[in-house]
Structure 1
Amino acid sequence: TLTNKWNQVAIVTDGTRVLGLGDIGPEAGLPVMEGKSLLFKYLGGVDAFPIPLATKDPEKIIETVKLITPSFGGVNLEDIAQPKCFHILQRLRKECEIAVWHDDQQGTATINVAGLINALKVVGKKMPDVAITLIGAGASNIRTAKLLIAAGARPEHIILVDSKGIVCRHREDIEVAANDYAEKWELALKTNGGDREGGIAEAMRDADVAIAASKPGPGVIQKDWVASMADDAILFVIANPVPEIWPWEAAEAGARVIATGRSDFPNQVNNSLGFPGIFRGTLDVRARTITDEMCIAAAEELAKVAEEKGLDETHIVPTMDEIDVFAREATAVALKAMEQGIARETKTRDALYQGALELIRRAREETKFLMQDGFIRPPPP
């Protein structure tokens, strides 16, 4: 190509749902988007541009993204509140000729699936057999539920819990809001096969797996609720900056595999393991969209990388300092796009891997040089 469009991604936000901060607006959200741009470059070799928008109107956001697509190979939607985030993503995926992705939905779900694949191997259980509780029914866990089902989990074995209790077909408040929360109502109809009612405590009872993406803790999840889970329980508590329950408390209560969203605890389940490699692979074959199958391919490759280096209770996902992680993930994503017929370019596995590895290596070297020469300032003490 004669332009850099193929390697450029727009990070679009309205600042209404910034992690740990809430509705802070586009100006205050800009530093977060700038940080994400750096992660795109350093981890994936992708040139990303932060584009905070001074509007909360879904139609204006959709129209703006459509108008800027000639300049980009992909769009990363970021920190947009629900329920409009579902509608915006759905519309843009249908109406744009380039890949549009919402990291808070698809990215979180991908890494959750990657971690769970290996956690299940550690405890000797299978995806179709386990009972899974999802605490929090926002953008990330709604998409996690859908991706888990695509990865082999049985819908009737999944229970979602929102702020009003267990999600089920009998909840009139969910049915009434079905137009705005279509994905949630869809899951209410096909999950919770036992018609369980109650709150978090009831939802966690006898669960093999619990994935919490709710509000920062501690204290959101109680130790006795963890103790009520099945033997060899798996618990992901990914709220930031403080998980829903401290990992050591969960371990004391009997959880065998515990993951958080933080780097200072083992098993960091973080979106940064996903979006750089997924977009690298998407851009390398100029894929028209990012499908659930591409997300599962990424999750399986991440799980494979970690497994090759040895699985145990404290190591179920790779770390971000392993450069080959992102090149391998990119390759898996690109190959799946080619297999599904949504790639505009065709390349061999080796060409994809070597190309991604070189772009990422070069980006890391460039970033280090910029830091050494003072163009990128070190963080304040």
Structure 2
Amino acid sequence: MTGTTMTTPVTDAEIFEGHEGGKLSVAATRPISSPRDLSVAYTPGVAKVSLAIAEDAAKAKRYTWADRLVVVVSDGTAVLGLGDIGASASLPVMEGKSVLFKTFGGLDSIPLVLDTTDVDEIIETLVRLRPSFGAVNLEDISAPRCFELEDRLKEALDCPVMHDDQHGTAIVTLAALRGANQVLGKDISGQRVVVSGAGAAGVACARILQNAGVADVTVLDSRGIIHEGREGLNPIKQKLAETTNTSGLRGGLGEALKGADVFLGLSGATIDETLLAGMSDDAIVFALSNPDPEVHPAAASRYAKIVATGRSDFPNQINNVLAFPGVFRGALDSGARAITENMKLAAADAIFSVAQDDLGPDRIVPSPLDPRVAPEVAAAVAKAAEADGVV
């Protein structure tokens, strides 16, 4: 199944009509059309189920929806490319995320937007709500707080937790890079990758690329190349300085891109397209900032063999929906208590395996609408969870 792009721009009227009244509703799994149905679903019958769970809490997995319910949690501090717009304004995005969980992963999901940016308060809230859900998808939470929040939640909760802005982006980026390299006949291990942006997605992409075998990754923030000895680095960037930039580069994007094989844009800032001229002959450019890529695909194509963006109106869309529905489905299907690095790598490999059926310079990943993707990802993630011993 090949990817498709929109030929007619979506109008504002369509957008607002599509969100009127929200995008979610609750549907009953069994009809209630008689007094007998009512007695089974609610009082008095429901009391027997509640008592059974009170005697054996494990029965909640069978007799409630909680074990397979994903909560999409945000504080509204880093919403899309809009920044800190608050909890209420983030809700349409979180509703959309829940719709995608149901549509592509077959999982029930509810948005949970919190009117606090305090990490301790967010953790306490989710710990207290733990009996109500089976997994946590963190969304649109600003860096560097998102790193601390995810790490601490994974310690506090006995269920899968994943910050999708980090790991969903990283999984699909790795899958796309595998696809691009397959088209070009290149090996990922021998490439030099430049990551522009050291926020949530940039840090996670650098890590997964290293775990996948990329030996030479250089990361830049707004001050330039992150390197050992640079002053003012927070703990996350300090760790990047210690584990990346094996060439010991200094300076800005121009210096970083000289001879580079891959440019991965995750900064939200536009760049001078002529900087791409210094890259290798078989350059790959992923300009993933939304809604405006770091460099327009038409311009990037003058210097790169393969170009990808985060937008649906250009070929090669790097879209997180290729990852998160299948990742959570696989984690919940297997009964995993966590989402491991190997599970993320397995997800990337599964996406790439689907793309292999129809690879080309403008088809390095499957379409986000390809129905094969989520089941393949879920199966691979479940198998990796069992291998990692987290089930």
Equivalent position of 1:242 in the other structure: 292
The equivalent residue for 2:377 is: 329
Q: Which amino acid aligns with 2:283?
A: A
1:17 deviation in Å? Answer: 0.5
Specify the alignment match of 2:240 in structure 1.
187
Aligned pair partner of 2:353 in 304, 309, 312: 304
Distance 2:369 2:150 in 1: 30
1:215 pairs with 255, 262, 268, which one?
268
What is the rounded CA distance, in whole Å, between the counterparts of 2:379 and 2:245 in structure 1?
Answer: 36
Quote the Cα distance in structure 2 between the aligned partners of 1:165 and 1:46.
41
Q: Is the 8 Å Cα contact of residues 133 and 159 (structure 1) preserved in structure 2?
A: yes
Q: Which whole-Å CA distance do the structure 1 matches of 2:181 and 2:100 have between them?
A: 29
* In 2, Cα distance between equivalents of 1:273 and 1:184: 28
What is the CA-CA distance between 1:29 and the residue it aligns to?
0.6
Letter in 1 for 2:265: A
Using the TM superposition, give the Cα deviation of residue 64 of structure 1 relative to its aligned residue in structure 2, in angstroms: 1.0
Contact 2:319 2:368 in 1 (8 A): no
1:131 and 1:158 in contact (8 A); partners too? yes
Q: Which amino acid aligns with 1:273?
A: L
1:159 corresponding residue in structure 2: 218
Give, in angstroms, the shift of residue 204 of structure 1: 1.1
Counterpart Cα distance in 1 of 2:280 and 2:71: 43
Say whether the 8 Å CA contact 1:118–1:303 is kept in structure 2: yes
TM-score, normalising length from structure 2? 0.83
Q: What does 1:314-353 align with in structure 2 at a 5 Å threshold?
A: 314-343=362-391
Partner of 2:322 in structure 1?
A: 273
Identity among equivalent positions (%) equals: 45
Aligned counterparts of 1:165 and 1:192: Cα–Cα separation in 2: 12
How far the C-alpha of 1:66 sits from its partner, in A, is 1.4
CA distance in 1, matches of 2:246, 2:63: 54
Number of aligned positions between the proteins? 330
1:104–1:140 contact (8 Å) kept in structure 2: yes
Q: How far apart are 1:223 and its partner, in Å?
A: 2.0
Q: Please give the TM-score of this superposition, normalised by the length of structure 1.
A: 0.85
* Counterpart position of 2:123: 62
**Superposition map of 1:20-35 within 5 A:** 20-35=81-96
The one-letter amino acid paired with 1:284 is D
The structure number with the bigger radius of gyration is 2
User: 2:199, 2:370 → 1: CA distance?
Assistant: 30
Provide the aligned C-alpha RMSD in A: 1.0
Separation in 2 of the partners of 1:303 and 1:338?
21
Kindly indicate whether the alpha-carbon contact (under 8 Å) linking 1:73 and 1:286 is maintained by their aligned counterparts in 2: no
Query: Residue 347 of structure 1 corresponds to which residue in structure 2?
Result: none
- Selected match of 1:134 from 179, 195, 207: 195
Question: Which position in structure 1 is the counterpart of 2:79?
Answer: 18
AA aligned to 1:190 is: T
d(CA) in 1 for partners of 2:183, 2:372: 23
Deviations 1:133-155 (A, max 9, x none): 0011111010111111111111x
